[in-house]
Amino acid sequence: MTIYIDSTDGVKVALHDLGGSGPLLLIIHATGFHAHCYEPIARRVADHFHVVAPDLRGHGDSVMASGTSMDWWNMAADLGAVVKHLDVDSPIRAVGHSMGGATILMTELTTPGTFSDAWLYEPIVIPEITGMPPNPMADNARRRKGHFTSLDEVFERYSSRPPFDGILPEALWAYIRHGFADDPNGGVVLKCPGEIEAQVFESTAHGLFPRLPEIATRLTIVGSGDNEMPASVAPQLADAIPGANFVEWPDNSHFGPFEDPDEAARQIIETLL
């Protein structure tokens, strides 16, 4: 089931019910992805949690006008609108991946006490320095091919090259089935086009790192062993947030939740239940 929730800037956030029973668990996606990418995890925790997950602005089935701001604090406003709609009596358990992890932290700063516990896989929170270079991820996003003849062609292309070649087929298919839309002129197109994804990469969570000590949510921060920036910064984030726990996944990459949903589910159940 999908419902649409009004956020700022005229955005309508798509909120998907991924099933399960038990306490509410909110999963927030990474840049360029969407809620349904986490179906493999939702299935594995279904006996323990009732999982819901939004598509933030510019992603998945969310609706927004051309020119809408991709600033990450506005992503936090989208998540805040979702939490307000859910109208639960107690703080929520949450899972965040990459941008989704940063969005959870920003939402908690905006409205303290929103989340009781969170499991964050490589949240993108960058220590701010003067004269930061352009984000190469934005350039890569703008070069992404956005049109294919069929979903099968998408799967064949993505599964044969990095970084998607390392994720499980069930996770890749979840991304493809819900990340592309039919093109009226034939074939399929990305729901989150490369230009929008690039704008998200260029925005990032400015002003967040210095405020990390204000966060009181019980956190587990996971870092992979791929030696890229999100992994190298993850221990610093755990050190900056009072009481946060750091866990390393040495054999995985930034796409760890898609590479090993079994381990992701095990940790989520262990740390959030």
Is 61:14 a contact under the CB 8 Å cutoff?
A: yes
Q: What residues contact 143, with CB distance under 8 A and at least 6 apart?
A: 194
C-alpha 83/C-alpha 77 separation (Å) is: 10
pLDDT in tens, 211-249: 999 999 999 999 999 989 899 999 999 999 999 999 999
Give exposure, 95-114, as e/b (b: 16+ Cβ within 10 Å): bbbbbbbbbbbbbbbeeeeb
Model confidence band, residue 138 (pLDDT cutoffs 50, 70, 90) = confident
Whether pLDDT at 135 is above 80: no
- Number of Cβ within a 10 Å radius of residue 172: 21
Mean pLDDT of 183-188: 96
pLDDT of residue 127: 84
Average pLDDT, the chain: 95
Burial class from Cβ neighbours inside 10 Å (0-12, 13-18, 19+) for residue 69 reads middle
Which letter, b or e, does each residue of 243-266 get, where b requires 16 or more Cβ atoms within 10 Å of its Cβ?
ebebeebeebbbbbbbbbbebbbe
Mean pLDDT of 42-48: 98
**pLDDT (0 to 100) of residue 139:** 86
The band of 130, judged by pLDDT with boundaries at 50, 70 and 90, is very low
To the nearest whole percent, how much of the chain has pLDDT over 70? 97
Predicted local distance difference test score (pLDDT) of residue 131: 45
Give the separation between CA 176 and CA 125, rounded to whole angstroms: 27
Residue positions counted in the chain:
273
β-strand 147-148 against 24-28: which pairing, if any? unpaired
Please tell me the pTM assigned to this model. Answer: 0.96
Verify cis geometry, omega within 30 degrees of 0, for the bond prior to 163.
Answer: yes
pLDDT at residue number 258? 98
Report the C-alpha gap between 62 and 218 in whole angstroms.
Answer: 29
Q: Which domains occur in the chain, in start order?
A: 2-134+203-272 (3.40.50.1820)
pLDDT at 134: 58
**Spatial contact of 151 and 188, defined as CB atoms under 8 Å apart:** yes
Burial of 133 (0-12, 13-18, 19+ CB in 10 A): exposed
Q: What is the pLDDT of residue 98?
A: 97
Q: What is the pLDDT of residues 68-86, one digit of tens each?
A: 999 999 999 999 999 999 9
Contacts with 87 (C-beta within 8 Å, 6 or more apart), sequence order: none
Q: What is the pLDDT of residues 114-129, one digit of tens each?
A: 999 999 999 999 887 5
